[in-house]
Amino acid sequence: MKRLQGNQAVSGKEDDYYFPFPVPNYRFDQRNEMFKRRTWDEEFIPWGNQLYQQVKYKDKYGYRKLDYALRNAAWNIEYGYAFGNMRSNFGLYSWDHIPDKAKRFIEHEGPVSYGPEVNARIVKKAARFLGADLVGISYVHPNLVYSQELDLTTMEHRPVEVPEGCVHAIVMLVAMDYDSCRYSPDAISGASTGLGYSKQAVVANLVAAFIRGLGYRAIPSGNDTALSIPLAMAAGLGELGRNGLLISRKYGPRVRICKVFTDLPLRHDDYKPFGVTQFCMACKKCAHHCPAQAISHGEPTMEGPSLSNFSGVEKWYINPEKCFVFWSKNWMDCNNCVKVCPFNKVEGFFHDIVRYFIRNVPILNPLIVLMDDLLGYGRPVQIRDKNFWEKV
């Protein structure tokens, strides 16, 4: 794929780096992100209050107090210690917290560097050891950093800037549990999402601590500070799908994304498309199975339908308002577009063969979608199959 020169940086100066795909020529204000809008947009405040402040148990598998207890336990690290969905530079995502016991080791000598290529290999090894399932490295395009953030702990709306020199992003994927995801859109599936967020906070915190131990700055980030999906794409970890999510080669959209920004010299990875766009053109299963009909059935466009879209490049845009209203009516988040995606498969001989044909023989994509349907992938979990708590 031809590498395209990065857009004008917000400072007006031309970037010194190349970015592998177009980026909008402005920075997105995080205040307009859907989960922040529910705190200030009068149309969505009632829906936000219903989703986040009310509890409605049902006498139904996946919606009982038992199921909610699992879901809330899975979110506990994110909600209680990380706060990556609340604000930047806080909790486990603190930009400069170093425990007293570690300071003497960090301050003992100057920074340690083995050169960008070796540094990258070492960082990836450390990240996988510390809990990341997949790791890549990209340049931090300035227009992918939020222009401003809305701090939900104080409701302060303030500018965001990554510290000067921290132009490298270590992007890490944490896989969500395959079996529990299949229960979407209930609390058992919600537990798989929450556990992903809790795990990624720990991973980002630990990798940042490792980088600081080498003598460099490290800025851990969850959903805060910068847009995760384009950075993950540039780091060679996947492509953007019709469902608006990162589609990774190994786990499909069943991943959570965290990153660490640093001034440690690192060799960047390349964008590695593997047939997702062509497959999404033929598939549309996420759009068909979206209970909110928030996913486009049509062609990619340049503009999204919502204030919450980062418009300006040709891609599929989802309608986050429709998605959020469904979550509120359901009293629970939804993973249907993850569950039904044909890329959401565990590794195995047959699934790996299918992935090979998607990459190399796209003319077979419609047949692959048909076979996926015939084999029953993506259908709702039937009552007879609802045995999450019963299986040993």
Spell out a b/e string for 230-253, using b for 16 or more CB atoms within 10 Å of the CB, else e.
Answer: bbbbbbbbbbbbbbbbbbbbbbbb
Tell me the pairing of strands 168-175 and 246-247.
unpaired
pLDDT value of residue 11: 34
pLDDT value of residue 107: 61
Please state, in angstroms and rounded to a whole number, the distance separating the CA atoms of residues 85 and 265: 28
pLDDT value of residue 97: 79
Q: How far is CA 148 from the centre of its chain?
A: 19
pLDDT value of residue 10: 34
Please state, in angstroms and rounded to a whole number, the distance separating the CA atoms of residues 370 and 189: 25
Instruction: Tally helices (H) and strands (E) across the chain.
Output: 15, 10
Which parts of the chain sit beneath pLDDT 50?
1-15
pLDDT value of residue 102: 67
